[in-house]
Copies of this chain bind each other. A is one copy, B any other.
Amino acid sequence: MIRMAMTTQAKKRILIVGGVAGGASAAARARRLSEDADIVLFERGRHVSFANCGMPYYIGGAILDRDRLLVQTADGLKARYGIEVRVQTEVLRVDRARKLLVVRGPDGAEKSETYDALILSPGAQAIRPPLPGGAHPRVFTLRSLADMDAIKTAVDGLKGCRALIMGGGYIGLEMAEAFRARGLEVTLVELSGQVFAPADPEMVAPVHRRLRDNGVDLRLGVSVTSLSQADNGLKAALSTGDELDCALALQAIGLRPETALAREAGLALGPSGGIAVDAHMRTSDPSIYAVGDAVEVSEFVTGNKALIPLAGPASRQGRIAADNALGRDSSYRGTQGTAICKVFDLAVGVTGLNEKTLKRLGRAYEKVHIHPTHHAGYYPGAAQMSLKILFDPKDGLLLGAQAVGLEGVDKRLDVLAVALRAKMTVRDLRDLELCYAPPYGSAKDPVNCAGFAATNALEGDVRLWHAETLPPRPDQVLLDARTAGEFAAGSIPGALNVPVDDLRARLGDLPKDRELLVFCQVGLRGYLACLILSQNGFVCRNLSGGYQTYQATVSSPAASERR
């Protein structure tokens, strides 16, 4: 039993810099561990512990009461936790030798504050690249309540105008929905070939479609080169040469860790530019901890250091830093990057590593795609989702997972996130015993089905092929195992059609001297066809995810670049 002897603990003074997510968690945890400690929280803004993830929904009107975003107030923290909160207070520097902070309060006066332990939770700031016209007052970022209020005020005065969003990450996507909900036209420009970078290109094809279906003018592989004053707002020049009039612009191209204070104090930064910490969230100075978006974490699968700014991990890190600051041994076990984003009625999310990263790292992997319904197909409202699983081709260890769809996406990602954390293999996924009743799932849950598909590949029952390897080599033949009707409605150019149910009778029509690249709609009939073919002496592979994954793959600009 790990239990701190609280009564023998000397009275400590804990200073915390930054009052959102990690900082607020650290402060509350510190008090829970010690009634004696002096705990002071410094926050540059006017509010502590506000729900920054809720800001797009307040601007969009889904959340009507602004006060709902103020999760905890300075007075509340004082009353419940006896924590001194100093808002509108800038921490100017850390004097590590004398263990004190120099701060400037709302009155402008500088003051010094000593500490026994210091916990830094400075967060990250929106990247504002040096863009001509980027300082125009109608160009916003969204990190603080002040940002939110400014955007809301601007939008409240508009109707039928255009908002320009730069960047297709969480904020860009959520704000596209918010601006549409407020009746604005929306153009979203994204420099890369896809939105939602944590996922692979073929997995966001449905997101691109959903954005466009909801009236978002999505421009991929495009950037804004300059902004300038126009009659009714801004004129944006794009990398394509196009010009665009808009009433306001939002820069949401990414985050940069707030490391100035740490750097100036001489604390070590890591290779990715975040504050370096050990598993106890301790910086290179043993009296100073750092947590949240400003720190470098160990990525769970590889152990590599990385910047992974997420609210859940920030909150956990705050608790762990407070534990260690107050003498309780507690370790952070890495960030796996579980994340989800709502894009209109679609959800898209990931956990673990994506294929882009695995490729970049040169890590061996195999992948499967499936397209199951989120609950029993015969029960009303069944919605199809797409699920991608990345795994070690030798031992089947789960490396990452992605999902996109209308319903049940968060559930499958959470299941896969736990499986990944538990270092399960794809074989284990087959055997997971999940909730089943027709309104909630299927006797074979999508996660089980992903396990089946992956294990079939892992054990060599079927060899897979993937859509990005097209076109076929001369010694390969494409074989569409769907029905004649499906084939007629659209297939991969050059494919033969032999429906799986006719296959046993038509084996004589097929060449034994060429590799058959089999496919069906989602991968199941193709798998059955391959089992029939391979047991009859044919050489064959099944297209993972079938024609549906093929379509998603070829629709992505990233795929066409690849070829």
Contact = CB atoms under 8 A, between A and B. Distances in A.
Q: Which 5 residue pairs are nearest across A and B when measured between Cβ atoms?
A: A422-B422, A68-B378, A340-B435, A311-B443, A35-B535
A6 B54 CA distance: 57
A532 B35 contact: yes
A210 interface: no
A91 to B, nearest CB: 24
Contacts of A349: 435
Given A376-B54, A417-B433, A535-B34, A439 B342 contact: yes
19 contacts: A7-B535, A21-B443, A35-B532, A35-B535, A51-B376, A53-B438, A54-B376, A54-B379, A54-B438, A63-B379, A63-B380, A310-B433, A316-B430, A339-B435, A347-B440, A410-B411, A411-B414, A417-B432, A417-B435
Interface stretch (A105-113, A330-338, A554-562): A330-338
A68 B71 CA distance: 47
Interface string A11-45: 00000000001000000000010111000000000
Nearest to A21: B443
Count class of interface residues, chain A? 35 or more
A237 B270 CA distance: 77
A217 B34 CA distance: 52
Nearest to A315: B443
A453 B504 CA distance: 59
Interface string A502-535: 0010000000000000000000000010011001
A151 to B, nearest CB: 17
Interface of A: 1-3, 6-7, 21, 32, 34-36, 51, 53-54, 57, 62-63, 68-69, 71, 79-82, 170, 300, 310-316, 333, 335-342, 347, 349, 351, 376-380, 410-411, 413-415, 417-419, 421-422, 424, 428, 430-441, 443-445, 448, 458-461, 500-501, 504, 528, 531-532, 535-536
A504 B35 CA distance: 10
Contacts of A445: 312, 414
